[in-house]
Chains A and B, each alone.
Chain A
């Protein structure tokens, strides 16, 4: 029987699901570092993915021919099962297990969403706004940074929201290749057949995802003050 099945059996027989004493004793030593590690993994992954996705998205929006191949490649990356991707990555010579391959995989996952939203955001900018900007003598660069990106930003941030929530979930699997984070609690809990650790890891990962979602939603709203303005 697998670890998981044994565990389920245990859980069903165990009257006390959460061992509060364990949580109290291991809070600073295990739980907080796992939580911090998880934030680190997710944040770094989204940041790196953005650094790649923004220029690629802008390029794809400009040179439309580049867009289908870009979505094709990132679409494939997006569809590889995460566990398989981790396995592939650590089988590459020179890639050690640890946070690095986890971050690489998480970046690969978020590229499709971020690039697609960047392109959609730029597409949503009214063409007459760009025409007026050009007609008034803004350079292409000024049009991109002062008109197109600010107007596309809410849609881009909406993409960051989806990517972040997805990444926070997938990052738990990263512990399988020693990436750290809340997944560590979950995997340890499974192998020790100790439900408290699993629940702590799962609940915190969920809470983190919800907080990140709400913060980014607030950012999305904050970035479009003009849309809050009332119409007369």
Chain B
């Protein structure tokens, strides 16, 4: 668990703090996304966790211990670090890159080698093919995968990820996000994830911390609540006018409580249960129909406008 306690950062010679009185907790095994416009201090906040930037006020506790209890280098070796520009060592092979922290921790060669192969498998790169290559030989998406593998190398309980899928095209990004969420289900790391993209925040986060200029916490909550109950004008304008649609993208059709279809389904569009409610709505509008058929557990169920609407209304009224 990571605990921010009244954390502040003011650079010497500057009047205005870049991070102001920040207090929140990142729970064990959760992804906490820091999001906000540029200059809101989200990267600074993340970098204070492993002391790439030293705080000037308050403290950051990791599992109850202040992060200043040990040397900065020892601390960093226990925290995975992945950044947008990746920063792979161009002069080292993929295996050497991934083995960086295990090597620093003094693991023996066999153990490092096994771990490297395991991680390459995990991120979907064939070890035999990629182990001995240099970073320049890999595509952007492959390099990002290696960057994530390198951050995971010594199996740190905590990971810091600064737009780790930022440097690739949208399609690759989506795939990397999905893959990472799948991996996270198994590895259950405690993750501080920085992005400027609210859609990525909604997709990746168990919790979202929205920051505004000066590193002030505007709202900290689960994605559903951020979308349904924005605390302020700032938050609602940051999440965008389409926040209702964004909420729909949090739910898959297969998770919805739908009524059984009783005949008369001919001519209706059929959609997959894996589709998000948002995509399903788009399908309905596109097909010019008010309902569609979803096959779930061998049964045909009926997806209607009303069912989709029900997803958005409940929470909205209680706001």
Nearest chain B CB to A130's CB is how many angstroms away? 8
Indicate the member of B52, B91, B100, B104 with the most A CB atoms within 10 Å: B91
Pick from B50, B89, B101, B137: contact of A229, CB under 8 Å: B137
Contact with B along A220-232 (1 / 0, CB 8 A): 0000111101111
Would you call B287 an interface residue if the criterion is a C-beta within 8 Å of the partner chain's C-beta atoms? no
Would you call B133 an interface residue if the criterion is a C-beta within 8 Å of the partner chain's C-beta atoms? yes
Contact with B along A123-151 (1 / 0, CB 8 A): 00010111111111111001000010011
Looking at chain A's contact residues, the main secondary structure is helix
Would you call B303 an interface residue if the criterion is a C-beta within 8 Å of the partner chain's C-beta atoms? no
Known A132-B87, A136-B104; contact A229-B77, beta-carbon cutoff 8 A = no
Would you call B256 an interface residue if the criterion is a C-beta within 8 Å of the partner chain's C-beta atoms? no
Would you call B134 an interface residue if the criterion is a C-beta within 8 Å of the partner chain's C-beta atoms? yes
- Asked if A136 contacts B77 (CB within 8 A), the reply is yes
Pick from B76, B83, B133, B139: contact of A137, CB under 8 Å: B76
- Asked if A129 contacts B160 (CB within 8 A), the reply is no
Nearest chain B CB to A127's CB is how many angstroms away? 8
- Asked if A139 contacts B91 (CB within 8 A), the reply is no
Return chain B residues, CB-CB under 8 Å to A135: 50, 52, 76, 81, 83, 160
Return chain A residues, CB-CB under 8 Å to B87: 126, 128-133
Known A232-B137, A232-B138; contact A137-B74, beta-carbon cutoff 8 A = yes
Nearest chain A CB to B318's CB is how many angstroms away? 42
- Asked if A133 contacts B89 (CB within 8 A), the reply is yes
Would you call B236 an interface residue if the criterion is a C-beta within 8 Å of the partner chain's C-beta atoms? no
Closest to B151 in A: A136
Known A134-B76, A135-B76; contact A150-B134, beta-carbon cutoff 8 A = no
Closest to A232 in B: B137
Which B64-95 residues have a C-beta within 8 angstroms of A?
72-78, 81, 83, 85-92
Return chain B residues, CB-CB under 8 Å to A129: 87-90
Contact with B along A192-232 (1 / 0, CB 8 A): 00000000000000000000000000000000111101111
Return chain A residues, CB-CB under 8 Å to B89: 129, 132-133, 147
- Asked if A132 contacts B88 (CB within 8 A), the reply is yes
Return chain A residues, CB-CB under 8 Å to B92: 226
Return chain A residues, CB-CB under 8 Å to B88: 129, 132
- Asked if B91 contacts A136 (CB within 8 A), the reply is no
Would you call B136 an interface residue if the criterion is a C-beta within 8 Å of the partner chain's C-beta atoms? yes
Would you call B223 an interface residue if the criterion is a C-beta within 8 Å of the partner chain's C-beta atoms? no
Indicate the member of A134, A150, A227, A231 with the most B CB atoms within 10 Å: A134
- Asked if A138 contacts B83 (CB within 8 A), the reply is no
Contact with B along A103-135 (1 / 0, CB 8 A): 000000000000000000000001011111111
Nearest chain A CB to B261's CB is how many angstroms away? 49
Return chain B residues, CB-CB under 8 Å to A227: 136
Would you call B135 an interface residue if the criterion is a C-beta within 8 Å of the partner chain's C-beta atoms? yes
Nearest chain B CB to A106's CB is how many angstroms away? 31
Return chain A residues, CB-CB under 8 Å to B90: 126, 129, 151, 226
- Asked if A150 contacts B81 (CB within 8 A), the reply is no
A231 and B135 alpha carbons, distance in the complex (Å): 9
Pick from B78, B85, B136, B147: contact of A231, CB under 8 Å: B136
Indicate the member of A137, A139, A151 with the most B CB atoms within 10 Å: A137
A12 and B88 alpha carbons, distance in the complex (Å): 64
- Asked if B91 contacts A232 (CB within 8 A), the reply is no
- Asked if B101 contacts A136 (CB within 8 A), the reply is yes
A132 and B73 alpha carbons, distance in the complex (Å): 12
Closest to A142 in B: B104
Nearest chain A CB to B145's CB is how many angstroms away? 14
Closest to A226 in B: B134
A151 and B104 alpha carbons, distance in the complex (Å): 19
Which B109-137 residues have a C-beta within 8 angstroms of A?
133-137
- Asked if A132 contacts B136 (CB within 8 A), the reply is no
- Asked if A136 contacts B138 (CB within 8 A), the reply is no
- Asked if B137 contacts A136 (CB within 8 A), the reply is no
User: What would 12 more interface pairs be, CB under 8 Å, given A136-B76, A138-B73, A229-B134?
Assistant: A132-B81, A132-B89, A133-B87, A134-B76, A135-B160, A137-B76, A226-B91, A226-B134, A226-B135, A229-B136, A231-B137, A232-B139
- Please, could you name 24 A-B residue pairs with CB atoms under 8 Å apart, sorted by A? A126-B87, A128-B85, A129-B88, A129-B90, A131-B52, A131-B85, A132-B147, A133-B100, A134-B52, A136-B76, A136-B104, A137-B74, A137-B77, A137-B101, A138-B73, A139-B73, A142-B104, A151-B90, A225-B91, A225-B134, A226-B136, A227-B136, A231-B136, A232-B138
What 8 A-B pairs have minimum CB-CB distances, sorted nearest first?
A: A132-B87, A137-B76, A128-B85, A135-B81, A137-B77, A128-B87, A226-B134, A229-B134
